[in-house]
Amino acid sequence: MSDHSIPIIQIGEMTPHPNADRLVLTKVGGWQVVVGRDEFEPGDPAIYIPPDFTVDVSRPAFAFLANRTSKPRMRIKVAQLRGEISQGLMIPIPEELDARFGVGDDVSAALDIERYEPPESATSGADRAIAGPSLLTHKFDIETYQRYADVFLPGERLVVTEKIHGANVRVVMNDGVLFVGSRTEWWEEHSNSVYWRAVRSEGAALLGLLADTPNVTFYGEAFGQVQKLKYGAKSGEVWLALFAAMRADGTWIDTPALRETCAARGVRFVPFLGVVENDEAGIRTAMRLAEEDSAIEDHLREGVVLVPEIERRTPTGERVALKLVSNRYLMKS
């Protein structure tokens, strides 16, 4: 699922903007985009860049964005245009693209379009990356529902949890050694490491769970004084909320079972928001939940994560899990 490609698409149906004669609305997958009325016709080839990708504003194709940022690269976000949400950027096929590119071809490399990667939380100048545990682990990279909605089965029951704004943490007890890592690295123990601080904040309950389930890698979010959303944390406060766990054989523990285990052991789990079916009503409910305030603190929610009640993988072996990021968050982040 995580191919991060930007294929050339064909413009689909266009509908009038309710508040602007010179604007129209169109859909790309589950995304809504506002474009100029005379920019495109249905069937035209175009390049659609979803939120949370970045473009080089020095390139001719994106030079029109240069006056909107002081940085060499601009992050594509959600905007509200005359009362309608516009999720991403739509541009005509630029002249700088090789004529060999056609509908369906990935242009991300040709136009230097990259997935936005928030910087991993700083640990300390003294911290060092180390070799990881001697077992299979997984690097989390959850894609958006709007792009991969068909990965869910019709009517499949989906667990909805809050997506916390923080830093991804991996933690496992392997051969009697506690390993703590971020999404991409394993880190040497250090008092200033946000990842180690997050694990320690959960105290004996989490350490007991890790000791009793060796070689199970637990995934969570370090949050508090980590990112822009603080969740009521005071200076220096960092916590950890678990959201997934993978056994040594690569199978995932079903979310309801993991949640029950965490509750029984007194280990913090991400806020559980309910279960919906993968149908129009269920996804509408999940989208509404994504736009509500956080269950932890009185501020906006980053979004929600949808995972099948019974864990499974895609035909290519990836864990099935998608996120719905709040438009409120995307417009402010």
Per-residue pLDDT at 29 exceeds 50: yes
C-beta separation of 88 from 28 below 8 A: yes
Closest CA to 149 of 4, 320, 328, 21: 320
Q: What pLDDT is attached to residue 274? A: 98
For the entire predicted model, the pTM comes to 0.86
Query: Rounded distance, CA 174 to CA 192, Å?
Result: 23
Query: Rounded distance, CA 246 to CA 314, Å?
Result: 16
pLDDT average, residue stretch 265-274: 98
Q: What pLDDT is attached to residue 1? A: 58
Q: What pLDDT is attached to residue 131? A: 87
Distances (CA, A) of 29 to 63, 130, 149: 26, 40, 8
Q: What pLDDT is attached to residue 127? A: 60
pLDDT single digits (tens) 200-223? 999 999 999 999 999 999 999 999
pLDDT single digits (tens) 146-175? 999 999 999 999 999 999 999 999 999 999
Residue 235, both tokens = 């200076």
Q: What pLDDT is attached to residue 3? A: 65
Closest CA to 290 of 108, 165, 174: 165
Confidence of residue 120 (pLDDT cuts 50, 70, 90): low
Closest CA to 227 of 173, 163, 281, 150: 163
Q: What pLDDT is attached to residue 125? A: 46
Q: What pLDDT is attached to residue 264? A: 98
Tell me which of 139 and 187 has the higher pLDDT.
187
At residue 107, φ and ψ (nearest 5 deg) are -110, 10
Structural domains in the chain, CATH included, are 8-115 (2.40.50), 129-332 (3.30.470.30)
SS3 of 322, please?
A: strand
Closest CA to 299 of 223, 232, 222, 244: 232
Across all residues in the chain, what is the average pLDDT? 92
Q: What pLDDT is attached to residue 124? A: 45
SS3 of 287, please?
A: helix
Closest CA to 276 of 120, 112, 156: 156
Query: Rounded distance, CA 303 to CA 42, Å?
Result: 32
Kindly state the DSSP code that residue 122 receives in the 8-state scheme.
P
Q: In this predicted structure, which of 117-126, 157-166, 176-185, 313-322 has the lowest mean pLDDT? A: 117-126
Per-residue pLDDT at 123 exceeds 70: no
Q: Where are the beta strands (DSSP E) in 50-203?
A: 53-56, 73-75, 78-81, 84-87, 89-91, 114-115, 129-130, 143-144, 157-163, 167-174, 177-181, 186-187
Confidence of residue 141 (pLDDT cuts 50, 70, 90): confident
DSSP lists the bridge partners of residue 246 as 217, 252
Angle of helix 255-265 relative to helix 203-212, nearest 10 degrees?
130
Query: Rounded distance, CA 99 to CA 109, Å?
Result: 15
pLDDT single digits (tens) 296-319? 999 999 999 999 999 999 988 889
Per-residue pLDDT at 100 exceeds 90: no
Length of the chain: 333
Kindly state the DSSP code that residue 149 receives in the 8-state scheme.
G
pLDDT average, residue stretch 9-15: 96
How far does CA 267 lie from the centroid of its chain?
Answer: 23
Query: Rounded distance, CA 147 to CA 166, Å?
Result: 23
